[in-house]
Amino acid sequence: MPFPENFITELVDRSDIVDVVSGYVRLSKRSGANLFGLCPFHSEKTPSFSVSPDKQIYHCFGCGKGGGVISFIMEIENLTFPEAVEFLARRAGMPVPEQTDDRESRRRERMLALNREAARWFYAQLSTPAGQSAGAYMAKRRISPATAKTFGLGCAPDGWDGLLRAMEQKGFTGKELFDAGLARRGKNGGYYDVFRNRLMFPVIDVRGNVIGFSGRILGDGEPKYMNSPETPVFNKSRNLFALNLAKKSKSGYIILSEGNIDVVSLHQAGFDSAVASLGTSLTPEQARLISRYTDQVIIAYDNDGAGVKAAQRAIGILEKLDLRVKVLRMSGAKDPDEFIQTKGPEAFRKLLEASENQVDYRLRSVTDKYDLTVDEQKVDFLKEATDLVARLPGAVERQVYAMRVASLAGIGADAVTAEVERRRKRLLSRARSDGERQQTRPERQAQPPDKDLRYADPSSAAAEEGLIRLLYLDPALGRSPELPPAEDFSSEALGHIYAAVRARIDAGSAVSTASLSEALTLQEMSLLVSILQKPELLSSGERALNDYIEKIRERKRLRAGSSDLRALAESLRERKGFKGKDV
């Protein structure tokens, strides 16, 4: 059964959206009654994420996401509706009523329980003969038993179904292990373990749940590292290895490394703010996750060509979130683990203190590409370096680095400064033109920000949006006998939103983003909030209602007529083709 309405109402009343959102976004800039900040759902430098204390909603004018306090928690914490309600209830100190029929939440809870038991089983194998190879590998990498316990490291034995049999004894099925990415289907219809002969790293989210695994092969074989597949509880692009530990650090920064072993080694050496992405380059979602816990990141990637390229990409992602970024330059070691093993923790600490800010790092990388004693290469250096400096946001920062570039190239600072400002004006002009071109496209203005919800009939969709907006703002209009069925809507998403709003009105219940959070998807909730941002004159509500209804009916008739014409044309083509064969 769903949560009682009075419970949801009280929960939302005790979960002010400004207080909740402020735990994830720095809100400061005011525009009227609204607060603004950098959107936590996409990368941006200019705040376009708006929070309305009066309406208790959020809306991003950049990516289009929006909703109420429950949908915000669903989106940012990757939770289902019941889980988001429980999350907010714990925050507000409210007991949660029983909910017995939410299958998706029960499935997620069951999967988390399975992952937890699997992690315990993997850890227990370290103390058995089957775990000797993993123990030997950890000893070789100088990973202590205490560190293994902190991270919950374990061993997947070199067998076909050890985990499967152990989990079946605890009441889990082969199908459940398959869904969790812990088992594969065999040719005979049975199941066998995915992770075999591997050192296991549980992936634990910031709430302490085991959501997946990463396994490092013990001995020869490919792939060297294997990660859990995407599941209802695990999305590798939205999680980071060891962030559950690093978030507690008092260091004031996050160390971003490439591998799990690097992270384990760093924590063991006392650098407890290290994290790693999960087998992929840093993603914007991971960067936004980091930004919740710090405003400074130190990149400690491998000291090779791939590591340099990955660092450059990570800088571009992190700087969009207004994070201070520094980069380590290691010499004499290929990665943080090797550096610590050969030179010790104190040497690494000094390396951290000497880390370059991201502009110095990128400028040095550009400088290293050219021989500045050759005029032709000096010109190429100046083109690339002035383009880099032109993209810096602060005028003082651009001036300082323009002078640095001039010094490196051995030419006058005025010439470099002029070239930087010329390139910056060109960049700004191009960005402004692109933005204006996008905004003035009629078809773009008529479409929702989410491309998955694209309208097939924008004219009808505009009326459908208007009808939804009127009913939301003035539910009394929902008593009109002329209201069309949801099936008459040209947009499936708008039809679903309309049906959910009408269901609340017909039941005599309040209509709000909170009350609709369970019925609508996050995409639909964002679309609803974008609809509510558009103006509507309620003083002439009934007339507008009738106009919207007539427009919807008219467009439906036109679509039906067009469909009939297409069917007739197709029929004539088929008949003509048939006769042609007869002749």
Model confidence pLDDT, tens digit, residues 217-259 = 998 888 999 999 999 899 998 899 999 999 999 999 999 999 9
Cis previous bond, 129, omega within 30: no
Nearest one of 271, 273, 215 to 242, comparing CA atoms:
273
Mean pLDDT confidence for 375-392? 93
Distances in Å between the Cα of 475 and the Cα atoms of 15, 447, 455 are 24, 25, 25
The domains located in the chain, with CATH, are 5-92 (3.90.580.10), 103-234 (3.90.980.10), 243-363 (3.40.1360.10), 369-439 (1.20.50), 451-566 (1.10.860.10)
Report the sign of the C-alpha dihedral through residues 488, 492, 498, 504, in that order: positive
Q: Would you state the pLDDT for residue 560?
A: 80
Mean pLDDT confidence for 478-482? 89
SS3 label, residue 328: coil
The strand pair at 324-327 and 296-300 is best described as: parallel
Q: Would you state the pLDDT for residue 498?
A: 95
Angle between helices 395-409 and 375-390 in degrees, nearest 10: 170
C-alpha to C-alpha distance for 54 and 32, rounded to whole angstroms: 11
pTM: 0.75
Q: Would you state the pLDDT for residue 92?
A: 93
Summarised one tens digit per residue, pLDDT across range 3-51 is: 888 899 899 999 999 999 999 998 986 667 789 998 998 888 788 999 9
Q: How confident is the model at residue 563 (pLDDT cuts 50, 70, 90)?
A: low
The strand pair at 225-227 and 254-257 is best described as: unpaired
Mean pLDDT confidence for 552-568? 75
Summarised one tens digit per residue, pLDDT across range 361-376 is: 989 989 999 999 999 9
